[in-house]
Structure 1
Amino acid sequence: MAKPRQKASGMWEIALRHPSLPGGRKYFTFDTEAQAMAYGEQWSLLKMAGIQPPAELLKPATKKAIVLAHLIRTWANSGLAAPTQHSSLGSLMTEVGAVNLEDATYTWLAGYLQQLKVKNNLAPNSIRHRIQALGRCIDEYLRHNPTVVFSNPVRLLPKGYSAYTDLDKKLVLANGGKAKIDVSRDRRLHKGEQERIVAALSGFQRPDRERGLLLLGGNSMLTMFLVIVYSGLRLKEAYTLKRGGIDLEHKVIQVQSSKQRRGNIAFRDVPMRPEVHAALVHYLATRSMLPGANLFPFMEEESDLPIKKVSSRLSARFTTAFDYADCPGLHEHDLRHEATCRWLEMRDSSGNWMFRSEEINRIMGWSAGSVMAQRYASFRGSDLAARMWATPEAGGASFALSV
């Protein structure tokens, strides 16, 4: 007969064997060693008498079903999920949290994708956010449970899974919705728009409006606009600038990157264009501040103002200013596209490109070897044509037509 052993909890456990048991062995737990010994002796007597164990002991232990809600919570609490992913995780908890992991097959996932398109009528980008978050939840669970044999269905999806197929479009139309498509931003400032925006942010009143813009913070919005459009800083990077990070002598801005995760803090130096240098000199001449002070006052408009609210508030103010300046369809983030193109188009005194792609990646806060500059580059066809026709070869060329 097996001997009982005491567990860390203080209880006594004994392992009893019988060929009829699932796996040939079963563990029993008791409060005292004497109880465990007594039960073991009874078991031995039953075994010698040829009596089968109770029927309920012969059934294999049922495994508790793992639902996707458990996986979603585990990933959300792991500290590895990006803050921007929590919204998608909340949606997943509501929509698929009750689904068993073993039922989350590729067929089920295809049905969930169709639900996101037909019933929820989401844009492809929103669909990708949900599905990518679900894939990471399952990956995290499988990493910590290597004995679980399960294929993550998200990794089997084909390229372009979030796009609406012809069948999806018909189902969405029948459901009273409209098929969504990915929208790529390539909005550049048109001729005269920057001048109108500067005028609006300077307090200029349009003849057809009763008043000018209500500009909180004096010339702060105007200066921040010029910094962004000529430097390409992200909105959060601009309004979190410190006075000590403005080096007017060496013409460099020290920027804390807003694309860091898990508490990491990284800075990069962005060169000042003459336009930025002049704007900052004028701005700093109107106020005095310590090196540790915020360059712009927007985070101090209220006490304990959340960063997300500051960003939302400033985005809305820029939208209002662009509308007042008659710049339809222009968003604040489009200024980063504009700045990228301006960095790419800069020439030195010899007419050569001023910056290499690696240097532009560094200026804009992208990793080495990144292709983001190509994605953000929105070169106007009219500018390219003007550049070509301005060359002596194009201007003096003669064309002969042959019949």
Structure 2
Amino acid sequence: MAKPRQKPSGKWEIGLRHPSLPGGRKYFTFDTEDEAIAYAQQWKLMKGADMPPPQELLAPTGPVREVRLTRILGEWEESGFAAPTQLLTLRTVAREVGTTKLSEANYAWVTGYLRMLKVEKNLSPCSIKHRMQALSRALDEYQRHNPGLTIANPVKLLPKGYSTYTEVDTKLAKARGGREKVTQTRDRRLRPGEHEKIVKVLSGYERPDRERGLELRGGNALLTLYLLIVGTGMRLQEAFSLKRGQVDMEAKVIRVQSSKQWRGKVSFRDVPMRPEVHKALSVYLSTRAMLPGAWFFPFLEEDGVKGFKTVSQRLSFRFRIAFEYMGIEGLHEHDLRHEATCQWLELKDADGRDLFRLEELNKIMGWTPGSLMAQRYASFRGVDLAQRLWSSYATPGGEPGASSGAA
């Protein structure tokens, strides 16, 4: 049953669905929340008894185009089809442009909104895209339920690259004390010696120029979590939410529950253990005993934990502190997934061929078949490519020169 929400006027509004209603839904306003709930319960009984709605409700009331964007955004938010990560963005867009009427939301209006996001709010291109995509999907959903509308979705009329700052946008933003924002593409990989530094500090190393080392809650849990992520490419939540029964040490396979599913869907994938990962997990398990249903890592059982989000924030912070403690700059926890992807791509068999096909890598990393995410995550170091190139041209004596097949 739908839940009523309070309007700025103080009255309570509730949206009720029925396929016979214009647009499949109709909103009702009441003086109190109890009245709204009582009416919704009556409506539920009518639907359960297959009774049609009252005839006076079946005709459209007033011009449909005068609806405001706050209602359109709210309907998309409550539809169940909006991704959970988009809900906060929808509420932000509603605060910014919710009072705008649908009839006013044309191309000129959306370009004005776009200019406001760049000049007044000085947002990054990524943040601008999130807002525009949320607005566009809400408008699409509303048009699907109102096929009689002739207005086009103005967001889809924006040119390619609309979120990038133009020269005019940059000048206006700087005039208001802002600056040009650009899309940040992350391709940070572990540099030589950084992996050893991270293992060292997560093993309890204390710098001589510091009064104390890091507080490693859970003993070797954070070290093992790091080795697991960098060795498999598992997402942070997928790793710390593992249970003992998902880790098969004999088969050398981890049964991972994907953290990217929503609408109640639960999906698993099998991730093979590389020898170094298997060794790290073996050492970790030798320090503690646990039942198959127990959490593999202790982070979800710490004081003050209110869910996965709390643990994600805590662990991201702990990794950042560990990196900074060893003088490693610009490295984030999620960069470890990029590093793992590149390592999977660089694995070769005895004949020098790729050890895994691209579709197999997509399965390991939790991407859909045919996904191009591997290309996005691949960050091959130029020095590695140069060494590979020169080694292929090395003469038997070891000096760079013509290939062995040259005259």
Aligned to 1:277: 278
Q: CA deviation at 1:304?
A: 5.7
- Which residue, out of 387, 397, 400, partners 2:401? 397
Aligned to 1:345: 346
Deviation string for 1:343-384 (max 9, x for gaps)? 000111222211111111111111111111011000000001
Q: Which runs of 4+ in 1 moved over 3 A?
A: 60-64, 392-396
Q: CA deviation at 1:302?
A: 2.8
Aligned to 2:123: 122
Instruction: Output the CA distance in 2 between the equivalents of 1:166 and 1:178.
Output: 11
AA of the residue aligned to 1:152 = N
Q: CA deviation at 1:392?
A: 5.0
Secondary structure of 2:66's aligned partner: coil
Secondary structure of 2:270's aligned partner: strand
AA of the residue aligned to 1:306 = G
Structure showing greater radius of gyration is 1
Change (3 A) 1:69 1:194: same
Asked if 1:316 is matched to 2:317, the reply is yes
Whether contact under 8 Å (2:206, 2:214) holds in the other structure is yes
Deviation string for 1:227-282 (max 9, x for gaps)? 00010000011001110011111110110011111010000000100010000000
What TM-score comes out, normalization by structure 2 length? 0.81
Aligned to 2:32: none
Aligned to 1:249: 250
AA of the residue aligned to 1:217 = G
Secondary structure of 1:254's aligned partner: strand
Which of 260-269 and 351-360 deviates more?
351-360
Q: CA deviation at 1:306?
A: 1.8
Structure 1: which 5+ residue stretches go unaligned?
1-59
Change (3 A) 1:61 1:150: closer
Aligned to 1:70: 71
Change (3 A) 1:320 1:63: closer
Instruction: Output the CA distance in 1 between the equivalents of 2:256 and 2:62.
Output: 59
Secondary structure of 1:216's aligned partner: coil
AA of the residue aligned to 1:316 = F
Change (3 A) 1:145 1:132: same
Change (3 A) 1:383 1:243: same
Instruction: Output the CA distance in 2 between the equivalents of 1:96 and 1:315.
Output: 34
Whether contact under 8 Å (2:305, 2:311) holds in the other structure is no
Aligned to 1:155: 156
Aligned to 2:88: 87
Aligned to 2:175: 174
Sequence identity, in percent? 57
Secondary structure of 1:75's aligned partner: helix
Asked if 1:328 is matched to 2:329, the reply is yes
Change (3 A) 1:146 1:219: same
Instruction: Output the CA distance in 1 between the equivalents of 2:247 and 2:122.
Output: 46
Instruction: Output the CA distance in 2 between the equivalents of 1:131 and 1:352.
Output: 43
Which of 163-172 and 296-305 deviates more?
296-305
Instruction: Output the CA distance in 2 between the equivalents of 1:64 and 1:326.
Output: 58
Instruction: Output the CA distance in 1 between the equivalents of 2:318 and 2:268.
Output: 27
Asked if 1:258 is matched to 2:262, the reply is no
Change (3 A) 1:193 1:386: same
Whether contact under 8 Å (2:227, 2:280) holds in the other structure is yes
Secondary structure of 2:70's aligned partner: helix
Q: CA deviation at 1:105?
A: 0.3
Instruction: Output the CA distance in 2 between the equivalents of 1:140 and 1:307.
Output: 30
Secondary structure of 1:270's aligned partner: strand
Deviation string for 1:287-327 (max 9, x for gaps)? 11111111011111136622111111111111001111211
Secondary structure of 1:212's aligned partner: coil
Change (3 A) 1:144 1:350: same
The CA RMSD over aligned residues, in Å, is 1.6
Change (3 A) 1:373 1:174: same
Which of 300-309 and 134-143 deviates more?
300-309
Whether contact under 8 Å (2:190, 2:339) holds in the other structure is yes
AA of the residue aligned to 1:326 = G
Deviation string for 1:131-162 (max 9, x for gaps)? 00000111111111111221110111111000
AA of the residue aligned to 1:338 = E
Instruction: Output the CA distance in 2 between the equivalents of 1:384 and 1:159.
Output: 33
Q: CA deviation at 1:391?
A: 2.6
- In the comparison of the two structures, how many residue pairs are matched? 340
AA of the residue aligned to 1:106 = Y
Aligned to 1:211: 212
Q: CA deviation at 1:61?
A: 6.4
Secondary structure of 1:255's aligned partner: strand
Instruction: Output the CA distance in 1 between the equivalents of 2:379 and 2:71.
Output: 44
Instruction: Output the CA distance in 1 between the equivalents of 2:200 and 2:77.
Output: 46
Which of 382-391 and 115-124 deviates more?
382-391
Secondary structure of 2:255's aligned partner: strand
For residues 22-171 of structure 1, the aligned pairs below 5 Å read 65-171=66-172
Deviation string for 1:139-192 (max 9, x for gaps)? 111111111221110111111000000100010011110110000000010111
